Chains A and B, each alone.
Chain A
Amino acid sequence: MWEYAPAPESRDIANLKPNYRMFIDGQFVEGAGEPLKTVNPGTEEVLAEVSTAAPADVDKAVKAARRAYDRVWGRMPGSERAKYIFRIARLIQERGRELAVLESLDNGKPIKESRDVDVPTAAAHFFYHAGWADKLGYAGYGPDPKPLGVAGQVIPWNFPLMMAAWKIAPALACGNTVVLKPAETTPLTALVLAEIIQQADLPPGVVNILAGAGDVGAAVTSHPDVDKVAFTGSTEVGKIIQRQLAGTGRKLTLELGGKAANIVFDDAPLDQAVEGIVNGIFFNQGHVCCAGSRLLVQESVADELLEKLHARVSTLRVGDPLDKNTDVGAINSREQLTKIQQLVESGDAEGAERWTSACPLPDKGFYFAPTVFSNVSQAMRIAREEIFGPVLSVLTFRTPDEAVAKANNTPYGLSAGIWTEKGSRILWAAQKMRAGVVWANTFNRFDPTAPFGGYQESGFGREGGRTGLEAYLDV
């Protein structure tokens, strides 16, 4: 047997500091809130202490953003804004290794993903939107579209840096200023992004980053002087925000949960479909709102596909997120791990057939072995509720119409996958799919030029592409 020797990336590259502070009005400052300790989910060790915001700090941040909007950023020509945004993109690339290692430490995702996906995609969003800053007149929203003002943004823990980029880049390109709150369990890379923003010499107050828990997020989204709210996270919290903002006239975009169907037709390229299924649900430990968590496979190839899938999932290497050969890292928090365990138990109780990879798991840290449920029916919780973990539910279908009906039979509608070698079937199924993103013969591919967002309980509004600019323009 060939055992790969451990190949850990050095944690020194992360330049981890014992304390991190919030970024308000161009300065790193202590918040008046209770400091939080952020934990490495791969080892359960405390990584650093982070100062958090009290309501007064949120107010300070919003005021700073308003000032920066009125005096500098809102009236700056797009060509000038672009220079700053390009500079941020370049600095993200320059400090890419540092950001990647820090992200893996704080979030638990494998280094190969933070290195090859999160950080490059974050930089790509800044590059892409920098290009738009002086061309907004050509975006299809009139000759000279205006910004909205101050954007309050709250982001989740699954792609901390990438989500910050998705939020900040379009806001800045369109001329808005920002108050951003990263998730409670993963504040570190957003605060290093604040360093980069300072390094890029962005005028004070244009971007403000506050740490803290849900109460700080609520203070940001409900602040009366915020003109635009953007939230990515759970459907539950999204609904609360929508209720708060109803009738205020403030603009809102929500990117919430999902329970995406990945449909494999019998004429699919099976080996690549297996790769796509694995990438769809085990990428980032399944902590992906657009994860392909429901596999719909045509009954005539179900046995063959499942056999190949089990063999492939058995080769996934679960463990130390900093090891370059790790495919599946740590679950982000104990709380999330418990939630996954509960939903998996419900799958057992409701009679689904559970298969778990026999991979070894580390003794310490939050880990969950890749799991595939077969004989799942639409009525089971594991087919309806978002698990947000490395757990796949496999359902079968007989005809294309049945596949579409089952795929759409969910309150969510963020993404979908279609696997077939037949082009006409791809177009037909994509038309029928009620999902914001439909991938054909691939899954979980992100690009700043492609709009991303959902239907129904997966939220509204789009991020990325020309369409994504609308969320930050007064149109």
Chain B
Amino acid sequence: MAAPTTSPSLPPALADAVRDDASLRRFLHGLPGVDQVGVEQRAAGLGTRSIKKASKMWAIDTAISMVDLTTLEGADTHGKVRSLAAKARRPDPERPDVPKVAAVCVYPDMVETAVKELEGTGINIASVATAFPSGRSSLKVKLEDTAYAVDAGATEIDMVIDRGAFLSGRYGQVFDEIVQVKHACGDAHLKVILETGELATYDNVRRASWLGLLAGGDFIKTSTGKVSPAATLPVTHVMLQAVRDWHTQTGEHRGVKPAGGIRTTKDAIKYLVAVHEVAGPEWLTADLFRFGASTLLNDLLMQRRTQLEGHYSGPDYVTVD
């Protein structure tokens, strides 16, 4: 196992956990379990919060500022990425006060186009890498994939973990890959995609979250969006608990990004409530929480107009990009 290059100041208990393969395994298996019924009940309970008026308006604007506006299709073209970038810069052309989104998220070969379109806007360029979405390739290819995106100007890298290695218990291998990808990222922020839909149990989600954090991921991210189920509220709860526990033990703030399947303002607000009450209010910033989404943005814009104008305007009044 390679030594982690980040978090040089890990407290002794955690530094010990990453000493070798066996220690890592002992640590991950020693984490308290997650009770499925309990976490789902809690997520459903928090989902009944009623967010109205000014607090809803605040939530909508905050959610917009947390969107990683995403297009990850085989059919992506430069034209498509250009129009997505335009949407990111000015989500609602008639209302310049709408906050801009946090990032645009594309495949590595589209990074260059996105960089050109977003220069000087402060919007981040996120690129998936490491043989996204399956992660089935050699480490060499994954690192080159990462370097390709970073060289083209990506400021954030969304990598996938090797779920095969994770599920067969080769945690050291997963850890090493994350460490090396993090190294290849240079200054770019690293989001570690766990693909929780393939990990299947909440215990696995907690272990993978800690693995990602120990290896130096700046964010842990639920899903690629290519596997069903993608992000769910209870999975996000488990991950928010992990970053909160991480903060308790190290003093560091790390981020969480649910991705895939969050399409409505109502859903987005449920996630924000979870961030607020599970991780804590200090996580309510685009530096520590993101939505990986494409259609969500337009629903947020429609609901924003409804709040301001007092009536619903309909999907033809927001731009489809």
Residues of A within 8 A of B (CB): 1-7, 112, 116, 267-272, 275-276, 307, 315, 324-325, 421, 441-442
CB distance from B46 to the nearest CB of A (A): 10
A297 to B38, CA, bound (A): 18
| Shortest Cβ distance from residue A325 to the other chain B in the assembled complex, whole angstroms | 5
Q: Which of B32, B37, B42, B54 has the most CB of A within 10 A?
A: B32
A441 to B37 CA separation, bound complex (whole angstroms): 9
The answer to whether A269 and B35 touch (CB under 8 A), given A1-B281, A4-B49, A307-B248, is: yes
Q: A1-B281, A2-B58, A2-B276 are in contact. Are A272 and B35 (CB under 8 A)?
A: yes
- Once the chains bind, are B38 and A112 in contact (CB under 8 Å)? no
CB distance from A442 to the nearest CB of B (A): 6
Specify which of A4, A5, A7, A267 lies most central, judged by the most chain B CB atoms within 10 Å of its CB.
A4
* B56 in complex: contacting residue of A5, A268, A315, A324, CB < 8 Å: A5
In B24-58, which residues have CB < 8 Å from any A CB? Answer: 32-35, 37-39, 41-42, 48-56, 58
Inter-chain CA distance A270–B245, complex, in Å, is 12
In the complex the two chains form, what is the Cα distance from A3 to B54 in whole Å?
9
Does B187 touch A at the CB level, under 8 Å?
Answer: no
Chain A residues near B281 (CB-CB < 8 A): 1-2
Bound-complex Cα distance A421 to B34 (A)? 9
Contact flags (1/0) for B244-255 with A, using CB distance below 8 Å? Answer: 000010000000
Task: Tell me whether A5 and B51 are in contact (CB under 8 A).
Answer: yes
**Is A4 a contact partner of B55 (Cβ separation < 8 A)?**
yes
> A421's closest neighbor in chain B, by CB?
B33
- How many A-B pairs with Cβ below 8 Å? 67
> A4-B50, A442-B37 given. 8 additional CB < 8 A pairs?
A3-B55, A269-B35, A271-B34, A272-B34, A272-B35, A272-B37, A272-B42, A324-B50
Q: Please judge, given known A-B contacts A269-B34, A271-B32, whether A4 and B48 are in contact too, CB under 8 Å.
A: no
Chain A residues within 8 Å of B284, by CB: 2
Would you call B241 an interface residue if the criterion is a C-beta within 8 Å of the partner chain's C-beta atoms?
yes
> Shortest beta-carbon distance, A184 to chain B, in Å?
32
Q: Interface size class for chain B?
A: 20 to 34
A-B contacts, 19 listed (Cβ < 8 Å):
A2-B55, A2-B59, A2-B62, A4-B49, A4-B55, A5-B51, A6-B52, A267-B32, A268-B33, A269-B32, A269-B38, A270-B32, A271-B39, A275-B38, A276-B38, A315-B277, A325-B49, A325-B50, A441-B38
Q: Which residues of A contact B33 (CB under 8 A)?
A: 267-269, 421
List the interface of chain B (C-beta within 8 A of A).
Answer: 32-35, 37-39, 41-42, 48-56, 58-59, 62, 241, 248, 272, 276-277, 281, 284
Contact of A272 among B39, B49, B52, B277 (CB under 8 A): B39
Contacts of B32 in A (CB 8 A): 267-271
Give the distance in Å from the alpha carbon of A267 to the alpha carbon of B37 in the complex: 17
Q: Select from chain A the residue with minimum beta-carbon distance to B55.
A: A5
Once the chains are docked, how many angstroms separate the CA of A268 from the CA of B37?
Answer: 14
A391 to B128 alpha-carbon distance, docked (Å): 50
What's the minimum C-beta distance from A353 to chain B, rounded to whole angstroms?
21
Partner among A5, A268, A275, A324 whose Cβ is within 8 Å of the Cβ of B41: A275
A270 CA to B39 CA in the complex, in Å?
Answer: 11
Nearest CB of chain A from residue B198's CB, rounded to whole Å: 22
A267: chain B residues at CB < 8 Å are 32-33
Closest to B276 in A: A2
Bound-complex Cα distance A315 to B272 (A): 15
* Set of chain A residues within 8 Å of B41, measured between Cβ atoms: 275, 442
Q: Are A271 and B241 in contact (CB under 8 A)?
A: yes
Check A272 against B50 for contact (C-beta < 8 Å). Answer: no
CA–CA, A116 to B47, complex, Å?
A: 13
Chain A residues positioned under 8 Å from B51 (CB to CB): 4-5, 7
Question: In the docked arrangement, what's the CA distance between A128 and B37, Å?
Answer: 24
Separation of A5 and B37 alpha carbons in the complex (Å): 30
Given A1-B281, A5-B55, A271-B241, A324:B48 Cβ within 8 A: yes
Which residue of chain B has its CB nearest to the CB of A112? B48
Q: Are A7 and B37 in touch, CB under 8 angstroms?
A: no
A6 and chain B: residue at smallest CB distance: B52
Question: Which A residues touch B35, using CB under 8 A?
Answer: 269, 272, 421, 441
- The distance in angstroms between the C-alpha atoms of A272 and B55, with both chains bound, is 28
A5-B58 Cα distance, complex, nearest whole Å = 11
Chain A residues closer than 8 Å to B49, beta-carbon distance: 4, 324-325
Please name all residues of chain A whose beta carbon is closer than 8 Å to the beta carbon of B54 when the two chains form the complex.
5
Distance between Cα atoms of A3 and B37 in the complex (Å): 29
| Interface core residue of B33, B49, B52 (most chain A CB under 10 Å) | B33
In the complex formed, the residue of B with least CB distance to A9 is B50
B59 touches A272 (CB 8 A): no
Query: Which residues of B sit under 8 angstroms from A307, Cβ to Cβ?
Result: 248
Query: Contacts of B59 on A, CB cut-off 8 Å?
Result: 2
CB–CB B56/A272 < 8 A: no
A53 to chain B, nearest CB (A): 39
Cross-chain contact B58 with A116 (CB below 8 angstroms): no
Separation of A268 and B38 alpha carbons in the complex (Å): 12
State the CA gap A442–B42 with chains docked (Å): 11
Identify the interface centre among A2, A6, A315, A442: most chain B CB within 10 Å of its CB: A2
| Most chain A C-beta atoms within 10 Å of own C-beta, residue among B55, B59, B62 | B55
From known contacts A1-B281, A3-B55, infer whether A442 and B276 are also in contact, taking CB-CB under 8 Å.
Answer: no
- Residue on A with the closest CB to B272? A2
Give A327's nearest chain B residue, CB to CB. B45
CA distance A138 to B284 in the complex (A): 57
Cα A116 to Cα B46 in complex, Å, equals 13
How near does chain A come to B228, taking the closest CB pair, in angstroms?
Answer: 25
Residue ID in chain B nearest A278 by CB atoms = B42
Closest to B206 in A: A271
> What residues of A have a CB within 8 angstroms of the CB of B248 in the complex?
307
